[in-house]
């Protein structure tokens, strides 16, 4: 077990989302739902029951017109590493239905083990987990479009973003068939990354110096959501706006931002 916990030698997949580029178009949400067989119902306006592995939030600087500024924040699962893989959801799951993969850094969700207690939903500070209140039903003519590698989920279980893990498995299979033991950066990309028309989402191995995310996460514009909770998320956000940084970590009125930033890095 000790050897397995040596994360630095393994892959650590993560994402850098440039909020200065994001237009809030929602293409990432659509690409994600399409790729991952996320169902839809007639009325999806109750957002607490609407399953969106990737959700784009809209925040403002709270100033009135004409000084209002808007920022869109795409929110996949943060794949929290916590300390040694103790992410909030993994720690509370009584069914071992969600686990932290030390070889990839991906927090999984094993639907057939989940019995729907929803402790993980309560533990997740990012609202990244969703409960299936109903069995998924697609219009008959749409069943052919479903991704064959992605298992649909039944009523009564929790689901969430898995960084398009079936795509990783497929990339590994392809590499194995070619006699290779590893994959290139572009062989495994998430659907939201590829669906973003603004090129705002970058995905890759945070441990690999040749991957774009390795450099981006060190940008002076980088921050992580609710970082002070110690969740150690693997999704980094880039913004040149200070008010966005502050909103992203729920800073309190009058706090010294410079000192807080120092403790982050």
Partner 1 sequence: MYDTKNTGDVLISLARTMGGSIAESFAWNSFEACLKSTFKDKWRKLDKEGFWFNPQKDITTCPDLDFSKLLNINLDNTQPQGSKSKFPLILIPKESIRISSGYIADPPFAVKSIPDTVLKNNDQVIEINPETAKKYGLKNTKYATLTTPLGEIKVKIHVYNGIMEGVVAMSKGLGHIGYDKFISGKGENFNQLIGPVEDPDSGFDVAWGIRAKLTRA
User: Least separation, in Å, of the C-beta of 202 and partner 1?
Assistant: 21
Find the binder of partner 1 among 4, 63, 135, 250 (CB under 8 A). Answer: 63
With DSSP H G I counted as helix, E B as strand and the rest as coil, what are the percentages for the chain, rounded to 5?
Answer: 25, 15, 60
Asked if residues 69 and 63 have their Cβ atoms less than 8 Å apart, the reply is yes
Find the binder of partner 1 among 1, 9, 65, 258 (CB under 8 A). Answer: 65
User: Least separation, in Å, of the C-beta of 165 and partner 1?
Assistant: 21
Find the binder of partner 1 among 4, 5, 62, 240 (CB under 8 A). Answer: 62
Find the binder of partner 1 among 36, 52, 104, 109 (CB under 8 A). Answer: 52
| Residue 201 bridge partners (DSSP) | 17
Under the binding rule (CB under 8 A), the answer on residue 206 touching partner 1 is no
Task: Give the count of residues interacting with partner 1 (CB under 8 A).
Answer: 28
3-state secondary structure 47-84: CCCCCCCCEEEEEECCCCCCCCCEEEEEECCCCCCCCC
Find the binder of partner 1 among 44, 84, 186, 255 (CB under 8 A). Answer: 44
Find the binder of partner 1 among 30, 92, 123, 146 (CB under 8 A). Answer: 30
Under the binding rule (CB under 8 A), the answer on residue 135 touching partner 1 is no
Q: How many residues are given for the chain?
A: 265
d(CA 56, CA 28): 8
Footprint of partner 1 on residues 7-26 (CB under 8 A)?
Answer: 23-26
Separate counts of helices (H) and strands (E) for the chain: 8, 8
Under the binding rule (CB under 8 A), the answer on residue 37 touching partner 1 is no
Pick from 161, 134, 150: which is nearest to 44 by CA?
Answer: 134
Alpha-helix residue ranges (DSSP H) falling in 106-241: 119-123, 165-177, 191-195, 212-216
Binding site for partner 1 (CB under 8 A): 23-26, 29-30, 33-34, 40, 42-47, 50, 52, 56, 58, 60, 62-66, 68, 70, 139
């Amino acid at each position: 077990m000790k050897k397995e916990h040596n994360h630095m030698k393994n892959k650590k997949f993560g994402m850098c989302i440039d909020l200065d580029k994001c237009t809030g178009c929602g293409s990432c949400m659509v690409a994600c739902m399409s790729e991952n067989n996320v169902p839809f119902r007639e009325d999806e306006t109750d957002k607490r029951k609407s399953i969106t592995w990737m959700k784009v939030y809209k925040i403002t600087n709270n100033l009135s017109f004409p000084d209002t500024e808007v920022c869109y924040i795409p929110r996949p699962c943060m794949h929290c590493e916590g300390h040694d893989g103790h992410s909030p959801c993994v720690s509370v799951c009584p069914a071992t239905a969600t686990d932290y993969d030390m070889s990839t850094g991906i927090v999984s969700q094993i639907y057939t083990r989940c019995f729907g207690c929803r402790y993980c939903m309560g533990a997740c500070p990012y609202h990244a987990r969703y409960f299936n209140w109903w069995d998924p039903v697609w219009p008959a003519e749409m069943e052919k479009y479903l991704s064959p590698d992605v298992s649909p989920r039944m009523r009564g279980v929790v689901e969430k973003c898995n960084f398009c893990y079936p795509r990783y498995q497929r990339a590994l299979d392809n590499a194995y068939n070619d006699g290779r033991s590893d994959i290139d950066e572009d062989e495994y990309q998430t659907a939201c990354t590829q669906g973003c028309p603004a090129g705002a989402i970058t995905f890759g191995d945070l441990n690999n110096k040749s991957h774009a995310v390795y450099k981006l996460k060190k940008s002076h514009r980088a921050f992580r959501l609710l970082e002070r909770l110690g969740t150690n998320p693997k999704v980094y956000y880039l913004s040149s706006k200070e008010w966005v940084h502050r909103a992203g970590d729920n800073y309190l009125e009058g706090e010294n931002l410079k000192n807080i930033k120092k403790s982050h890095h």
